[in-house]
A = this chain, B = another copy of it.
Amino acid sequence: MAELKLVPRSEFERVRMADAPRDDRLELLGDMARANALTAVKRAGSGHLGSSFSAMDIVVHLFEEELTTAQVGWDHPDRDVYFSSKGHDVPGLYAVLHSFGVIPTERLLRLRRLDGLDGHPDVGVPGIEANSGSLGMGISKGRGMAWAKQFLGRGGRVVVMVGDGELQEGQNWEALQAGAHQPMGNLIVVVDRNELQSDKRTEEIVALGALEEKLHRFGWYVDACDGHSHDELREVFEDFRAEPERPKILVAHTIKGKGVSFMEHPFALEEGGGTYRWHAGAPDDDAFERAFAELTERISERLAAHDLGTLELEDVPSLEPESPVSLEGEPASGAGAPRPRLKASAEYVAEAYGDALLDLAGSYPELVVLDADLASDCRIRGFELRYPDRFIEVGIAEQDMVSVAAGLARQGLLPVVNSFAAFLASRANEQIYNAAGEGARIVYGMHYAGLIPAGPGKSHQSLRDASLLGALPNVAVVHPANAEETRAVVEWAVEVAAESVAIRLAIGPSPRRIELPDGYRLASGRGTVLVAGADAVVLSYGPVMLHEALTAAGGLRTRGIQLAVVDMPWLNRFDAAWLEETIAPFEHVFVVEDHSPVGALGDALRRELQRPVTVYGVEGWPACGTPTEALRFHRLDGASLADRIVAVLR
């Protein structure tokens, strides 16, 4: 890995105190924080630079000049509160908090690691005022904070950053309507109008149109400016002070990737052939080095121009990831770009999903694919390119997507809906219920299901989705083990199923290719014995947890215990005869879940078998960290599972 360096906190202090024009200092501080965000993301192996950089000058401006937070104290009740609703720009915020000493250096270097800094904001981290990362909640939450401050007679304002793509989420407009109705003068919203969402132009995905006019019509006091000009920002906040009674919104026109020439929009979009590559994911060594050099050179030049000496950098140990690289896959947007596959199994079940849809499209002209701005991650970009007339992009609006799908289904089409499971099953839950109530047949592609990758944190990890769909009478929840089974499940969902089917899919590369026996065929409600064993049986699903279950079985074999391992992709459908024949004979039945132990396979199996089942799932909040860290933390890695099973059997 490239050699990593950090701008130490002392350098920020030096610049703050320097005898140089104010805006030059602010610009310097912005670039220094950019350099540190870059290093932190590079070291983490994932994170969102494009949006961290577009928002950076605003964040620096706020904390250096506008907000009282640093002066009155980060826990003071009268402090100004700042948080970002989009949340994925948090590496930039971490770098700024580090520059104030709120986050220590060792923690900045543990971005997306256990006991480090969550991949999306979490109030467990100093200086973080709100959990976010799931889009659209920030203006509402900011209203609550601002209301409370007024009610409690507390000083300080609340400043909420939102993304422009994020404004596709309907909750924003609920909040904007209510915000104008119950005006709070201590609330300020800043739109980071960088004009790009995950990898395309906002105006291409779902246009915001005349945004300032819209916001004005919604009754807010609206200003706009260049979000990289401290002078203009200063003027806007001055202007806002003259409007003490109304909620205020600033549309800050910014440049995604600002500060690193080859990451900047529109250059980067053009270079990427219409796809912006720097939304998420760590740059490779070469790109990192070029970016870091560009930033530090500009910093040095500016320091020199003001006779401020040379830039001191501190070395950073380029810690190798603790976990097997095969598990390090990260989603391309919303969570982190796919990393080079390295030693991975080369199998991505989501690819098999996308390929299967493409293959089925020819025979099933009624098949239509829907996307909520995660087409690359959900592996449906191929479908979009091949069948543009059968691809519907709704933007970041999961509720709209599901109800659109319900409308398509009412006209006899077969919609295939895609998003991350964490968003789809919860944000659009009532819409899924409504569609199911119409008897709609919809395929739900629930991507990024389960614990891994664990770097993005709890806003993105999906450990509740099966429970959220479990009480629907006509939605089968299925989680395939490998590419072959994924294809079989998609075919079953499209060709056979009489009900809706929610397909849980791992988003990263499979830690190993789960081998299915010769002559494997998918059969509704039946699992597949992967390893025979007489002492006990473990049922699991998906490539991540089956890998750990198989590892546990291997370990147990050396300890003289023969653990049968069953791939059970059906989380809420059971073939009674198969259960009776294959599972019932075992005295000990274990389930290893890529889900909370509540509401998934374990519960369903107990309901079906009316017998004790020992369930190992993700207890409590999912850990943020590398896959190995997260699995170990939850005692779901093979070795821990073996120990836990032994403890039960003895």
Of A141, A144, A463, most buried by chain B (CB within 10 Å of CB) is A144
Measured CB to CB, the nearest residue on chain B to A175 is B400
**A140 and B403 contact, CB distance less than 8 A:** yes
- A2 an interface residue at 8 Å Cβ cutoff? no
Q: What residues on B are CB-neighbors of A467 within 8 Å?
A: 467-468, 470-471, 599
- Please state if B434 and A430 are interface contacts (CB–CB under 8 Å): no
Q: Do the beta carbons of A174 and B170 come within 8 Å of each other? A: yes
Interface string of A190-231 (1 = CB under 8 A from B): 000000000000000011111001100111000000000000
How many angstroms between the C-alpha atoms of A610 and B606 in the bound complex? 8
Q: Is the CB of A218 within 8 A of B207?
A: no
Which listed residue, B141, B146, B426, touches A433 by the CB 8 Å rule?
Answer: B426
Cβ distance A397 to chain B, nearest Cβ, rounded Å: 4
Chain B residues within 8 Å of A427, by CB: 429-430
Chain B residues lying within 8 Å of A612, measured Cβ to Cβ, are 610-611
Answer yes or no: A413 CB below 8 A from chain B CBs: yes
Is A122 an interface residue, CB under 8 A from the partner? yes
- Tell me the number of copies of this protein: 2
CB-nearest residue of chain B to A177: B206
Check: A105 CB closer than 8 A to any chain B CB. no
Measured in the bound complex, the distance between the Cα atoms of B472 and A279 in whole Å is 30
Inter-subunit contact B144/A410 (CB<8 Å)? yes
A101 contacts the other chain (Cβ, under 8 Å)?
no
Asked if A131 is at the interface of the complex by the 8 Å CB criterion, the answer is yes
A168, CB-defined interface residue at 8 Å: yes
A6 CA to B321 CA, complexed, in Å: 76
Contact indicator A603/B596 (Cβ below 8 Å): no
Contact A620-B473, Cβ < 8 Å, known A140-B399, A213-B217, A214-B217: yes
Q: Mark A436-451, 1 if CB is under 8 A from B, else 0.
A: 0111000000000000
Instruction: Determine if A407 is an interface residue (Cβ-Cβ < 8 Å).
Output: yes
| A188 CB, min distance to chain B CBs, angstroms | 14
Q: Tell me, rounded to whole Å, the shortest Cβ–Cβ distance linking A233 to chain B.
A: 24
Q: Are the C-beta atoms of A404 and B472 separated by less than 8 Å?
A: no
Q: Tell me, yes or no, whether A411 is within 8 Å of chain B by CB.
A: yes
Counting chain B CB atoms within 10 Å of each CB, the highest count among A210, A415, A429 belongs to A429
Q: Is the CB of A131 within 8 A of B438?
A: yes
Residues of B within 8 A of A169 (CB): 170, 174
Query: Is A621 among interface residues, defined by CB-CB distance under 8 A?
Result: yes
Q: Tell me whether A413 and B151 are in contact (CB under 8 A).
A: yes
Most buried by B among A175, A206, A399, A621: A399
Q: Select A404's contact among B147, B180, B210, B599, beta carbons within 8 Å.
A: B147
What string of 1s and 0s marks CB contacts (under 8 Å) between A400-428 and chain B?
Answer: 11111111111111010000001100110
A-B residue pairs, 3 tightest by C-beta: A144-B407, A170-B170, A140-B403
Could you list 18 A-B pairs, sorted by A, with CB under 8 Å? Answer: A122-B437, A130-B438, A134-B430, A137-B431, A140-B403, A141-B407, A144-B403, A147-B392, A174-B400, A177-B397, A181-B207, A213-B217, A214-B214, A467-B468, A467-B599, A470-B598, A572-B598, A606-B607
Using a CB–CB distance below 8 Å, which chain A residues touch chain B? 122-123, 129-132, 134, 136-138, 140-149, 151-152, 154, 168-175, 177-178, 180-182, 206-210, 213-214, 217-219, 368, 389-390, 392-395, 397, 399-413, 415, 422-423, 426-427, 429-431, 433-434, 437-439, 458-459, 463-464, 467-468, 470-473, 572, 595-599, 602-604, 606-607, 610-613, 615, 619-621
